[in-house]
A and B are shown apart, each in its own frame.
Chain A
Amino acid sequence: MKSTTILISLIILLGLSWEIKAQEQPLKDFAEDRKDRKFCFYPSTLRMVNLANNPDFDDLVSGIDKLLIYNLDSTARADKSYKEIITTYQELDFEEYASAYGGGLNFYVYGKENKKETEYIGVVKQDDLLTAFYMRGQIAMNKIPRLIQSMSEGDFINPFDFNLDDFGKNTQDQ
């Protein structure tokens, strides 16, 4: 009896972990061969980008379990294949939360609510930047406008716009 319970629990656990993994997998499958850079954040590393200890930022990220960011390459921009990400997740029952397109800006956010958490997938294209992200957890939406302002004031590193080239320059200058 005991072994049956353990077996059933294991099957349920495996099933749940497969479901969670499955939702980020389509983005990984698309982006791995088309990425310039990839960043993976967990709660502890997300707090590290908050240089000025902005409390709004901490509030915003406190519910995030995982954030995957891919800076996609010029091919994905040129052939507009990034749109496949949206259609793939639509097929996985992700619903549109917000979108903006035209005028040089393309921005799509889709989400799917599970029992305990919500998963988000998004694509942002502006000028030379094409970024796709996957996020799992809860996000305090009302903090976003204030954070955009803080971002422009340099309170913290914008995780969607890392420029790793600058790190090398600083070291060489010294």
Chain B
Amino acid sequence: MKKGIVIIGMMFLSVAMMAQGTVISAYFDQLEDNEDYTKVSVSQKMFSMFTELEAGSDAEKEFLQAVSKLKGLKVIMADSVAEASKMYKKAVADVNKAGYEELMSVKDAEENMQFSIIEKDGIIQELMMVAGGNKRFVMLSLYGEIDLNNISKIAQEMRIEGMEHLGRMEEKHEKHNDTY
């Protein structure tokens, strides 16, 4: 009985640990030596440095506030890989299987995109974006405390390749709200 409780506890713990960045970390490991894919990682330490800065304008203040709550960013991207479409399908399947909640998906002739989140107690803890076209593949995970209203500000200010898609999410989000 006691052993059973321990096993159940460990299962819950493993699910909780899986919550932040595990799927993308697995892809980091898998693609570590593959030069076709660029892997970018920004740690909490880096984000915490923003809290020490003094904001000049209101826009800077909003950006610093948004960024200071982040715990990490990981991006995998490739501009010219033959298996981009296959990678996209596999990544989306892995994200869905890992328990992420689909927030929005965009399908067009050039590129497909899916935004998923992990939410706990009303707070978004991780935002995962997977994008894939004929030759282009992007997987992006932003984790910490995330406010969707500030996503485009973060994307705009940080200027990391791949993050421009996050701005698109807000545009779509607004359009979606206008429709209803």
Contact = CB atoms under 8 A, between A and B. Distances in A.
Nearest to A148: B159
Contacts of B41: 96, 98-100
A128 B77 CA distance: 22
A140 B50 CA distance: 8
B157 interface: yes
A136 to B, nearest CB: 15
Dominant SS among interface residues on chain B: mixed
Interface string B60-93: 1001100000000000011100000000000000
B37 interface: yes
B38 A103 contact: yes
B7 interface: no
A10 interface: no
Interface stretch (B14-22, B28-36, B138-146, B166-174): B28-36
A102 interface: yes
Given A142-B60, A142-B63, A100 B40 contact: yes
B53 A102 contact: no
Most chain B CB within a 10 A radius of its CB, from A139, A141, A148: A141
Contacts of B43: 95-98
Contacts of B37: 102-103
Contact of B157 (A139, A140, A142): A142
Nearest to A96: B43
B148 interface: no
Nearest to A100: B40
A66 B168 CA distance: 40
B45 A97 contact: yes
B49 interface: yes
Most chain A CB within a 10 A radius of its CB, from B35, B37, B40, B78: B40
B75 to A, nearest CB: 8
Interface of B: 31, 34-43, 45-46, 49-50, 52-53, 60, 63-64, 77-79, 157-159
Given A100-B41, A139-B49, 15 more contacts: A96-B45, A98-B40, A98-B42, A98-B43, A99-B40, A99-B41, A102-B38, A103-B35, A103-B78, A103-B79, A111-B45, A138-B52, A141-B53, A142-B157, A145-B157
10 contacts: A96-B45, A98-B46, A99-B41, A100-B39, A102-B31, A102-B35, A102-B37, A103-B79, A142-B157, A145-B157
